[in-house]
A and B are shown apart, each in its own frame.
Chain A
């Protein structure tokens, strides 16, 4: 029962993310790619995405901080961020990157700074959501593997994750 709930919540949550534009079809592809031989594929990829994006955002910040802004370099970074976010399906991040690149082409330092802020914001958003999603997935799996005896602990975990509390409460 709880498992179902979790599953449902997971689905709901995912759908929400998709609906809000945080994730796109690419993410579902990733989900489809996951299988027995690669059970943690999505987790792996998302973790990579986090790492990579943080590094890029860092580099971007530094680059834009320079006296002489090297737009070529910034463009390269943004391009990469765009690539990785699109690979993962982080749609909103990708869209901001596209705008960012245009500003780079125009060599608009001001605009770039603003865009960078925007990218960071979007990134943090999607990061939180993905983390939650993954926790749910993780938990879902855990739940699935465990006996009912551990449900309460799991419930607590879920509650801590924050996403599924309402539903759980309903059943509690």
Chain B
């Protein structure tokens, strides 16, 4: 039966007379009930739309997003179970849903609550009961605001996350990644800003000034931390050392927290076997990209101060997030990082392995060691890196170990890979890469020769690419770097990807390619092009085979994820997506899946090719049934964490990767939303998901309902593109 919409022409909504004009959608297959409810609601001065079929109601909700405030649904309906509708509405549109039934048995009511109903009314419903349904709308809105506030408040958020992380190490890694992502996102947001700025990214009514950690600022932070020593670095002292006007201790504290988390995460990753949190990969990747960006930058960074491993990590993160953007150094725990590197150091050959990762590490280590070491000669750097990287890589390795990482972004990743591969002969570009950055991306562009393992051509590029990333946080730098080796890098980028394919790891390839692409793009084209799509590869336990598979592919950051899961994070912010033109990642992404199977030629795809059509093409061809987990950083930037296309994997991995995601937004590609729903519920149950989990059917890409997304992506289509490409 069609829906009869009522009340449209009724009483004009007078905002002041809330709850007058509350837009209610009633769904009930019992027409009598429907009619009665309709009338009752009209009497309450609400705007009523009634539907006797759940499927029709769902379509209505999807089409007219934002046109309803609350949904009343019957439990027993012929075409769809009321609870299922309840879940879908909660997930897709995040509207309060009230269940109704003539059956008031406790177990049913309990089910309703468990499925997320705001309330459960027993028929016959009295009008007094309906009069107060507005409370659910208000309550939900306020909770959302509070949540925004919460996430907006880095300190609180980080603190909480920290506690959680501390409690669960494994997940902490993810959290750290999230943190990094968040910080990265923040950076991205303010990529144009060099200084600390206040930013209102809270879409909710509450506005919180936010400090944007620009690259410079982060560098200052890192150097301050290095000066003090990670153990002794207290916010107060860091603040003093940084001497930035307008920066508060709280800002520093939260940033430090993140940084520590990042480091911890890196080290934690090293410890973990497989199943790297995608978030983890993401930042790393990004970093890599950044790392490759500018040798010069790296130098600058190196010169700017000692970069402890943490810093490296931070830089990595920064790099990853956005070459041009600010570097937000994740709070990496130096210890952990070192720890991780130690663990993972197996793979790192001193000189050779350095390859990307190492150089970075070296740099960082160098940096760490020498407070103000200027660019070191390549050799020195290399050696140092090698040494350090072996330590640090260990940390990083975790990421690599899992094989996932799409590293293009960070040298760290590179280093991981290198470690993994043992042959990473990428020699960090002397001088260039070294300087930098903690991101360890230091990959001297010239080091291409290092890549050996058959990837030499690629490796070269890779190195270059990576180097660029590492080196240059900012696009400009990247560009400059790229220019130096850019030509090569560009090409290389693709190749690495291919290389991956050889190894059968598709996932990373894409990332690599994407990275490279991004680099290319960014390098060549625009500054702002942050490694848009660095895909954060969510490591699924199955993933990590790559390291073993390709040894000597130092460059390839990619994470070979067997699973098509990977997180692609474009410049990670959905908005970024819109902004970013780096289609590459996207293409790569799509490829990623393919990569696993195919050879990486796909990587080659020119990012330029990415077009709407391309994305859609990928979308339709790739997305059949899967979940996209997206995480959100404190800056409320969205990061695509992973794309899981195999529901079974989702189930398997829920405890790991997904749990690490702080805000999971699941995109269900197929009609089997039940898996997604269960996953979401699981996430919510373990407290990993804040906010809603949103399921968006593939078929309805326009139906990406989530105001938050829209706000941040600025364009649904763009985000969707990114997602599609990732897959």
Q: Answer whether residue A18 sits at the interface, using C-beta atoms and an 8 A cutoff.
A: no
In this complex, what residue of A is CB-closest to B31? A48
> Interface 1/0s, chain A 10-26, versus B by CB < 8 A?
00000000000000001
Q: Which of A33, A52, A82, A88 contacts B39 (CB 8 A)?
A: A33
B103 touches which one: A29, A33, A41, A79 (CB < 8 A)?
A79
Contact with B along A54-97 (1 / 0, CB 8 A): 00000000000000000000001001101110111100000000
Q: Which of B32, B42, B43 contacts A87 (CB 8 A)?
A: B32
Interchain nearest-CB distance for A21 vs B (Å): 15
Instruction: Report the bound CA distance from A30 to B42 in whole Å.
Output: 13
Is A106 among interface residues, defined by CB-CB distance under 8 A? no
Contacting residues, chain B, for A89 (C-beta < 8 A) = 124
> What is the 8 Å Cβ interface bit string for chain A, positions 24-48, against chain B (1 contact, 0 not)?
0010011001010110010011001
Q: Is the interface of A mostly helix, strand, loop or mixed?
A: helix
Check if B387 is an interface residue, CB within 8 A of chain A. no
Q: Check: B40 CB closer than 8 A to any chain A CB.
A: yes
Contact of A45 with B36 in the complex, beta carbons under 8 Å: yes
Instruction: Give every chain A residue within 8 A of B125 (Cβ-Cβ).
Output: 87
Per-residue A-contact encoding for B30-53, CB less than 8 Å = 1, 0 else: 111101100110110000000000
Residue-wise, chain B 50-81 has the 8 Å CB interface mask toward A (1 for contact) of 00000000000000000000000010101000
Over the window 90-115 of chain B, the binary record of Cβ atoms lying under 8 Å from chain A Cβ atoms (1 yes, 0 no) is 00000000000111000000000000
Q: How far is the CA of A88 from the CA of B74 in the complex (A)?
A: 16
A125-141 vs B, CB cutoff 8 Å, 1 = contact: the mask equals 00000000000000000
C-alpha spacing A37/B43, complex, angstroms: 10
A residues in contact with B33, CB < 8 Å: 83-84, 87
Contact in complex: A48, B32 (CB < 8 Å):
yes
Contact digits for B663-675, partner A, Cβ 8 Å, 1 yes 0 no? 0000000000000
Report the bound CA distance from A117 to B31 in whole Å. 24
Cα distance, A26 to B103, chains bound together (Å): 17
Residue of B42, B101, B102, B127 most packed against chain A (CB within 10 A): B102
A37 to B40, CA, bound (A): 13
| B29 proximal to A (CB < 8 A) | yes
Which chain B residues border A41 with CB–CB below 8 Å?
Answer: 39
Q: Which residue of A lies closest to B29 (CB)?
A: A80
B104: shortest Cβ distance to chain A, in Å?
11
A38 contact set on B, CB distance < 8 A:
39, 42
A52 touches B31 (CB 8 A): yes
How close is A86's CB to chain B, nearest CB, in angstroms? 4
A158 CB to nearest B CB, Å: 28
**Contact B43–A52 (Cβ < 8 Å):** no
Note all chain A residues with C-beta closer than 8 A to B76.
76, 79-80
Chain A residue nearest to B28 (CB atoms) is A83
How many Å lie between the Cα of A37 and that of B124 in the bound state? 23
Of A35, A45, A87, the contact of B123 (CB 8 Å cutoff)? A87
Determine the chain B residues whose CB is within 8 A of the CB of A44 once the complex forms: 35
Q: Is the CB of A83 within 8 A of B35?
A: no
Whether, in the assembled complex, B232 has its beta carbon less than 8 Å from a beta carbon of chain A, the answer is no
Question: Per-position contact with A for B502-518: 1 when CB-CB < 8 Å, else 0?
Answer: 00000000000000000
Are B126 and A29 in contact (CB-based, < 8 A)? yes
Q: B33's closest neighbor in chain A, by CB? A: A87
Q: Chain B residues with Cβ under 8 A from A79's Cβ?
A: 76, 102-103
User: Given that A29-B126, A29-B127 are contacting pairs, would A86 and B39 also be in contact in the complex, using a CB cutoff of 8 Å?
Assistant: no
User: Which interface residue of B30, B43, B124 has the most chain A CB atoms within 10 A?
Assistant: B124
Q: Are B123 and A33 closer than 8 Å at their CB atoms?
A: no
Is B40 a contact of A86 with CB atoms below 8 Å?
no
| Distance, CA A38 to CA B43, complexed state (A) | 10
Q: Which residue from chain B places its CB closest to the CB of A27 in the assembled complex?
A: B124
Residue of B76, B101, B123 with most partner-chain A CB within 10 A: B123
Instruction: Find out whether the CB atom of B124 lies under 8 angstroms from the CB atom of A86.
Output: yes
Known: A26-B124, A52-B31, A87-B124. A82 touches B36 (CB 8 A): no
**What CA separation (Å) do A124 and B583 show in the bound complex?**
69
B residues in contact with A84, CB < 8 Å: 30-33
CA of A52 to CA of B31, assembled, Å:
8
CB distance from A115 to the nearest CB of B (A): 16
Most buried by A among B33, B101, B127: B33
When chains A and B are docked, how far (Å) is the Cα of A40 from the Cα of B31? 16
B43 in contact with A45 (CB, 8 Å): no
Are A87 and B36 in touch, CB under 8 angstroms?
Answer: yes
Specify which chain B residues have a CB less than 8 angstroms from the CB of A45 in the assembled complex: 32, 35-36, 39
Residue from the list A29, A49, A76 in contact with B32, Cβ < 8 A? A49
Within 8 A of A (CB), among B2-52: 29-33, 35-36, 39-40, 42-43
Bound together, the chains give a CA A134 to CA B679 distance in angstroms of: 53
- B residues within 8 A CB of A80? 29-30, 76
Tell me whether B36 and A83 are in contact (CB under 8 A).
no
A35 to B74, CA, bound (A): 26
A170 and B520 alpha carbons, distance in the complex (Å): 101
A104 to chain B, nearest CB (A): 12
From residue A81, how far is it (CB to closest CB) to chain B in Å?
Answer: 9
Q: Separation in Å of the B102 CB from the closest CB of chain A?
A: 4
Cβ distance B468 to chain A, nearest Cβ, rounded Å:
65
CB-nearest residue of chain A to B128: A29
CB distance from A143 to the nearest CB of B (A): 25
Whether B32 and A52, one on each chain, are in contact in the complex, defined by CB atoms closer than 8 angstroms, is yes
With a cutoff of 8 Å between Cβ atoms, the chain A residues found around residue B74 in the complex are: 83
Q: Which residue of B lies closest to A83 (CB)?
A: B102
Contact A87 B30 (CB under 8 A): yes
Chain B residues 431-448 with CB under 8 Å of chain A are none
- Chain A residues in 8 Å Cβ range of B127: 29, 33
Chain A residues, Cβ within 8 Å of B31: 48, 52, 84
Chain A residues with Cβ under 8 A from B102's Cβ? 79, 82-83, 86
**Contacts A79-B103, A80-B30; A48 near B35 (Cβ below 8 A):** yes
* B482 → chain A closest CB, angstroms: 66
Q: A29-B126, A79-B76, A86-B102 are known contacts. Are A52 and B30 too (CB-CB below 8 A)?
A: yes
- Give bound CA distance, A90 to B43, whole Å: 22
Q: How far is the CA of A45 from the CA of B32 in the complex (A)?
A: 6
Measured between C-beta atoms, what is the minimum distance from A83 to chain B in Å? 4
Interface residues of A (CB under 8 A from B): 26, 29-30, 33, 35, 37-38, 41, 44-45, 48-49, 52, 76, 79-80, 82-84, 86-89
Of all A-B residue pairs in the complex, the 5 with the closest CB atoms, nearest first, are A83-B102, A84-B32, A86-B124, A87-B33, A26-B124
A-B contact pairs, 19 of them (CB 8 A): A29-B126, A29-B127, A33-B39, A33-B43, A37-B42, A38-B39, A38-B42, A44-B35, A45-B32, A48-B35, A52-B30, A76-B78, A80-B30, A83-B30, A83-B123, A86-B102, A87-B123, A88-B32, A89-B124
